[in-house]
Amino acid sequence: MPTHLLDVDDLTTDELTTVLDRAAEIKADGAPDLLDGHTLGMLFEKPSTRTRISFETGMTDLGGHAIFLGPEDIQLGHGEPIKDTARAVSRYVDFLMARMFDHGDVEELAEYASVPVVNGLTDDAHPCQTLADLLTIRERFGSFEDATVAWVGDGNNVCQSFVLGAAMTDLDLTVATPEGYGVDESVLDRAAELGSVPATTTDPEAAMADADVVYTDVWVSMGQEDKREEKLRAFEGFQITPDVLGDRTLMHCLPAHRGEEVTDAAIESDNAIVWDQAENRLHAQNGLLAWLSEQE
């Protein structure tokens, strides 16, 4: 059976460390022939900037090849069952990356694929972003023990994967969300099995009190446009400004809705490491693909 990454806790703690170490090594030294002759199929239901470019560039850097497969490019967008697409495409490529709405669709893809499937984002999880985030924090602070993080905003897919990654690395995390927008209880249960459950609160100021890092994300995710006005009202008081941020480090997975969850001044400040995060999508995913290739 192939090894899949549908969420970050599909890795063991030791495997997560290995992936991050491989990412750091490849970032420092390169590995131009590592995936020579390998092909990555990239299935996209959702639009993307960082996911597509980082995976495609990464495969080129490692000596392989990537193929973009949008909903209008293949039969998946015209009624072919996911299981049929999975079995057919697996005959042509060495890895599959899928960026989809329904997490169950990625699970079905993995069930029927005969090659590793990587979740490039679903409505429930974004493990590749968490790998990049953890790599960035480790680079910035030297170790996870030396950083305290406050998540301020929506308990969305990015937050949920980050909660699991924090539990696996013993990263001190507090999550502040408005009432009704918190992390799913099932994710908190998984975090408890992995390590520690993050502290949760509806008070962003309390969450940030002892934090070294403030992490935020959009309040209105793709597919939630009909809830925009409702969410903007619910998230009043959660915006990150330079005054709120103080001397803390700012993280954001991007794209940012400047003027909503974060101000332009905050994201343009010297405290922001959002571009390091964006770059580390490339390196973290290279580390992941290198590790997956070694599981064959």
- Does the annotation place 281 within a ligand binding site? yes
List 9, 159, 160, 253, catalytic entry: 253
CA–CA dist 191, 207 (Å, integer): 19
Residue 159 among the catalytic residues:
no
**In the beta sheet, which residues pair with residue 65?**
39
Q: In what order do the strands lie in the sheet with 148-152?
A: 199-201, 172-176, 148-152, 213-216, 249-252
- Does the annotation place 75 within a ligand binding site? yes
Q: Considering only CA atoms, which of 53, 62, 19, 127 is closest in space to residue 278?
A: 53
- Does the annotation place 126 within a ligand binding site? yes
- Does the annotation place 269 within a ligand binding site? no
List 22, 38, 52, 99, catalytic entry: 99
- Does the annotation place 186 within a ligand binding site? no
List 4, 138, 281, 283, catalytic entry: 281
- Does the annotation place 251 within a ligand binding site? no
In the block, tokens 């699991």 appear at 164
Residue 126 among the catalytic residues:
yes
- Does the annotation place 40 within a ligand binding site? no
List 7, 38, 129, 239, catalytic entry: 129
- Cα atoms found within 13 Å of the Cα of residue 3, Cβ hemisphere only: 15
List 123, 217, 239, 283, catalytic entry: 217
Residue 295 among the catalytic residues:
no
- Does the annotation place 253 within a ligand binding site? yes
- Does the annotation place 99 within a ligand binding site? yes
Query: Would you say 20 and 131 are in contact if contact means Cβ atoms under 8 Å apart?
Result: yes
CA–CA dist 153, 238 (Å, integer): 6
Written as one string, the DSSP assignment of 238-294 is --B-HHHHTTSEEEE-S---BTTTB-HHHHTSTTB-HHHHHHHHHHHHHHHHHHHHH
- Does the annotation place 1 within a ligand binding site? no
List 126, 138, 252, 283, catalytic entry: 126
- Cα 168 to chain centroid, rounded: 15
Query: Would you say 107 and 6 are in contact if contact means Cβ atoms under 8 Å apart?
Result: yes
- Does the annotation place 198 within a ligand binding site? no
- Does the annotation place 90 within a ligand binding site? no
Residue 258 among the catalytic residues:
no
Those residues whose C-beta lies under 8 Å from the C-beta of residue 45, and which sit 6 or more positions away, are 71, 98, 99, 100, 101, 105
- Does the annotation place 119 within a ligand binding site? no
Those residues whose C-beta lies under 8 Å from the C-beta of residue 38, and which sit 6 or more positions away, are 59, 62, 63, 64, 65, 94, 95, 293
Binding site: what residues are annotated?
48-51, 75, 99, 126-129, 157, 217, 221-222, 253-254, 281
Show binding-site residues for carbamoyl phosphate: 48-51, 75, 99, 126-129, 253-254, 281
Q: Active-site residues: which are they? A: 99, 126, 129, 217, 253, 281
